[in-house]
Structure 1
Amino acid sequence: MSFTKLMLPFIFSIAMLTACSPAQDTAKKPAQTEVSELDPDTQKIMQTDLSEQTQNDEIPISTEPELSPESDEMIEALTHEQPQEQFDIRVYRAESIGSMTGYIDKVDIISLNDQPTTITGIQINRGNCGITRMYDYQNMRYGSVALAYPRCKVEYIREISISTIRGTDTYQVD
């Protein structure tokens, strides 16, 4: 009987502690995303070492087939007839729950063209800063925004060159 009286407070304490602690599923913060819950592309980006970055002059985005010489002449004729394309560039840092640093650097490319256009390549800091991913760069109309993720910090970005079928334009970033 004395053993039962002695163990009763311990059993009561353990029961209170387990009743007060939240379940393991609810203890996880809903705003945090585990690496295993992210899509494979994002996992690959997060696990890639920046030293693996290649020093390509320009990163092609589309994988269009090679054009014949006749097609090149037609493109040149179209290029001379049509005005150069214009874009507005916005470089910024945004909060990110999925990254280990708590932020992610982004480049918004806003189309100022009435006719639809497709970005075929982007070059940051004359090829010294690559991009990991680019979204919404096809069939851009006026006001459409393409999103690129640079592999360098936004405060170091000074120049961005955007290539389309009509040519390449270079923009200075302030």
Structure 2
Amino acid sequence: MTKRSYMNAVVKGLKSVEDVDVVLFDSNLRNDEKLSCTPMTDLGDDTKRKRIYVRLLLSIDCRETTSAALDTVNLAMEMKDQGVIGIDLSGNPVVGEWETYLPALEHAKELGIPTTIHCGEVPNRKEIQAMLDFCPQRLGHVCCLDDEEWKKLKSSVIPVTSFLFLAFHYL
């Protein structure tokens, strides 16, 4: 199974849901055309139906090659009208090298595709510095930063999502 066939299956599955209205986010729309986040659809006759808004991130796994990572970015660009809103760099933090994914992440930035990077899951000073210098739209984890890295992160105003219980698995 390829990433493309997997994502096509995910989108097909989401579109086939019958219990709620599934609205796939379209990143191609201008801000004034974007979804109004109403949790219910009014079907008339006092009938209301629940609605869910779906936004998807495609993952670049740390085990992947540069070529595979670039393919993921290109697939994200192709699927912007099918709920895909960005790229996520994730996986085992002790596998792979930052330089392997950097070309794909830079390509995503050039295309205007938002990036989320799992950073600082393990104390790797060189990689953490490079990730902070890249300045993604969001960082995940960031539980192994030193004082200087925290200062840099705070001054960058990059939003952070932290799941400490996941990171301890690798320590």
Q: What TM-score do you get using the length of structure 2 for normalisation?
A: 0.21
| Structure with greater helix percent | 2
TM-score, with normalisation over the residues of structure 1?
Answer: 0.20
| Larger strand fraction of residues | 1
Higher relative contact order (CA 8 A, sep 6+): 1
